Structure 1
Amino acid sequence: MPFAEKIVPPYARIAAELRRRIADGALAPGDRVPSTRRIAQEWNVALATAAKVLTTLRQEGLAEARPRVGTVVAGPGGGPARTAPGGPARTPEKAAPAHDRELTRERVVRAAVELADSEGLAALAMRGVAARLGVAAMSPYRHVNSKEDLVFLMADAVLAKAVYPQGAPAGRRSRLELGARTLWELHRAHPWLAQIGPLTRPLAVPSLIAYSEWMLAALDGHGLAPATMLDLNTLLYSYIQGTAVHLEREARAAGATGLTGEQWVDSQAAAYGALVASGRFPTFAKVLGSLGEEGYDLRIDAMFELGLTSMLDGLTALVEGAGRTRP
């Protein structure tokens, strides 16, 4: 490659291709533009690069974000500014101040949750939320102070969807199981929820405290020390969070590599075959060999069920032991 040749960044190259599709009519006004995950998969780039592609198109006025729809091709006059080939960007004739006036904290949070659900927490940015709502970039700041505050509100809104019945299930184990499954379903629906913070720095989110209230009430009155009750509550929560964290990691890996989980495993077949044939890991080789041609399929929901049952079995024995030693 000649040294004088300009190196085009991947995001610019992809944006140029999408511009061509819009110009050719392959993507018409109102059509959905590929999401960040789709761009990452199609062009084998990172999610951050894919997000930059969509940001570029929005800034040029070629695309706009619509609530509950995603990013679409802008119609005539749409977007913040449209760049004519070889000319300066022009400002649309009509602004949309009414959108800003109608903006509420609830709408900002809802749009942020939708964005994180579809593109992951790493792609969440105040500008992206504003674009999704079709308002000025700084408008969300009138309702939330920062991205950190926004994540707090998002977590509270999502966790508030948990429904705990007024009449507690009969039995300690049934109550703990219901609480754990309820939290797991929320993480399944919103994978970014597992990314909100480390276990050692829990957020003081009211709806998360409501979950702890439910779980601690199941452990109360069985002779357990207060610190042990809190440890067990945290242990169950960390199991759910620790399992769910792989949901978004898998989505990011699929976007970055362009491979599904099954395709990635298939690509590693030769490496695993060499390890098995090496003779260094006899038990590993025996277990894999006993699976036959079907092999092993890691099913995360089934693994969660196995782990939850094992934890509740062990916790039951611990609580019953504490009850027998109580004076």
Structure 2
Amino acid sequence: MNAGQPPYLRIVADIQSRIAGGELRPGDPVPTTRAIMREWGVAMATATKALAALKQEGAIETRPRVGAVVASGRPARSARSIERDRLVRAALRIADTGGLQALSMRAVAAELGVATMTLYRHLDAKAELTQLIADAAFAEIDYPDPPPGWRSHLRVAAQLQWAAYQRHPWLPRLVSITRPVSLPGLLAYGIWTLRALDGLDLDPGTRLHVYATLVNYVRGTAVNIESEVIALLDTGMTSAEWGRARLSVDGPLVAQIAEEGAVVDLDSLFAFGLERLLDGLTVVLDGPGSHR
């Protein structure tokens, strides 16, 4: 398997290969979530994401009282899917290097060494491409076993999302709270995060608002990562170094707001704000006076 792929895609490729080779035939049961966990040594969320991707591609289907089986009359993995994987990886490299403004069909075609028009056999529009790279970025997340307690679980979920934005500074611009896109990587994050609220006496609307509030906080803070990366390239200084360099000019003004030596950077701002958000959710999830 290709070690450069996210774990769930490697599982998808392996199962597709078994279908293509006839080891798994139409109607045959495919490995269950737990079987995938054992065979590939991955977490439940990764196994679930692999099965979701196979189902979305049409390689497998769910039958009542049977479970997931190889779909009838479906190819193991179409040339479109294989080519799309290469295309998405190329698009990720371009976005990581030059930001979304550098991403275009022409740029991806040049990266792959093909004519631009050939890409339209695999993608409908640039909008679809940006959705796919956002999903691929979330698919890179390797979910740990969730820690006990909703607060610890949500803290880890926020940190995983924050790390994804640090790897891909363009990603926050593609995450929508009010118009989310249903793709495997994005859905897997939502499913894993919402497990933190299982067992709590919450109505569906409150569960969704808790989840959206957490996602929106992390995303809202992370939109600054891209501009900070650009500023670092332009100035050669971190935000702390830039602040110290500006003291000779802005010192008297800064002194009216903060004492000398007080520093705010994106990581400290994220961590501080996250704990205050969790403090606020304690009132909703545990009731007044609770904290865990």
Fold agreement, TM-score > 0.5: yes
Q: Which residue is equivalent to 1:314?
A: 280
1:239-318 mapped onto 2 (5 Å cutoff) = 239-253=217-231, 260=237, 262=239, 265=243, 269=247, 272-273=250-251, 276=253, 285-288=255-258, 290-291=259-260, 295-318=261-284
Cα distance per residue 1:2-44 (max 9 Å; x no partner): xxxxxxxxxxxxxxxxxxxxxxxxxxxxxxxxxxxxxxxxxxx
Letter in 1 for 2:83: T
TM-score, scaled to structure 2 = 0.63
Q: Residue 169 and residue 197 in structure 1: after superposition, are their counterparts in 2 closer, same or farther (change >3 A)?
A: closer
Q: Which residue is equivalent to 1:222?
A: 200
Q: Which residue is equivalent to 2:84?
A: 105
Q: Residue 143 and residue 150 in structure 1: after superposition, are their counterparts in 2 closer, same or farther (change >3 A)?
A: same
Q: Which residue is equivalent to 1:8?
A: none
Q: Which residue is equivalent to 1:39?
A: none
Structure with larger Rg: 1
SS of the equivalent of 1:321 reads coil
- Count of residues paired in the alignment: 210
Q: Which residue is equivalent to 2:96?
A: 117
Show structure 1 runs of 5+ residues with no match.
1-100, 277-283
1:1-327 mapped onto 2 (5 Å cutoff) = 104-165=83-144, 167-253=145-231, 260=237, 262=239, 265=243, 269=247, 272-273=250-251, 276=253, 285-288=255-258, 290-291=259-260, 295-321=261-287
Q: Which residue is equivalent to 2:74?
A: none
Distance in 2, matches of 1:147 and 1:314, equals 39
RMSD of the TM alignment (CA)? 2.9
Q: Residue 220 and residue 253 in structure 1: after superposition, are their counterparts in 2 closer, same or farther (change >3 A)?
A: same
Q: Residue 273 and residue 127 in structure 1: after superposition, are their counterparts in 2 closer, same or farther (change >3 A)?
A: same
Percent identity, aligned pairs only, is: 42
Distance in 2, matches of 1:135 and 1:175, equals 45
Distance in 2, matches of 1:265 and 1:127, equals 40
Cα distance per residue 1:244-268 (max 9 Å; x no partner): 111112234556x656454765676
Q: Residue 250 and residue 162 in structure 1: after superposition, are their counterparts in 2 closer, same or farther (change >3 A)?
A: same
Cα distance per residue 1:108-132 (max 9 Å; x no partner): 1000001101111121111011111
CA displacement at 1:239 relative to structure 2 = 1.2
Distance in 2, matches of 1:124 and 1:211, equals 25
Distance in 1, matches of 2:251 and 2:146, equals 51
CA displacement at 1:273 relative to structure 2 = 4.5
TM-score, scaled to structure 1 = 0.57
CA displacement at 1:214 relative to structure 2 = 1.8
SS of the equivalent of 2:267 reads helix
Cα distance per residue 1:188-213 (max 9 Å; x no partner): 11111111154332222232122122
Letter in 2 for 1:223: D
SS of the equivalent of 1:104 reads helix
CA displacement at 1:233 relative to structure 2 = 0.6
Q: Residue 176 and residue 266 in structure 1: after superposition, are their counterparts in 2 closer, same or farther (change >3 A)?
A: closer
Show structure 2 runs of 5+ residues with no match.
1-79
Distance in 2, matches of 1:271 and 1:202, equals 44
Q: Residue 266 and residue 138 in structure 1: after superposition, are their counterparts in 2 closer, same or farther (change >3 A)?
A: farther
Distance in 2, matches of 1:273 and 1:299, equals 18
SS of the equivalent of 2:116 reads coil
Q: Would the aligned equivalents of 1:116 and 1:124 in 2 still touch at CA under 8 Å?
A: yes
Q: Residue 171 and residue 267 in structure 1: after superposition, are their counterparts in 2 closer, same or farther (change >3 A)?
A: closer
Distance in 2, matches of 1:235 and 1:244, equals 14
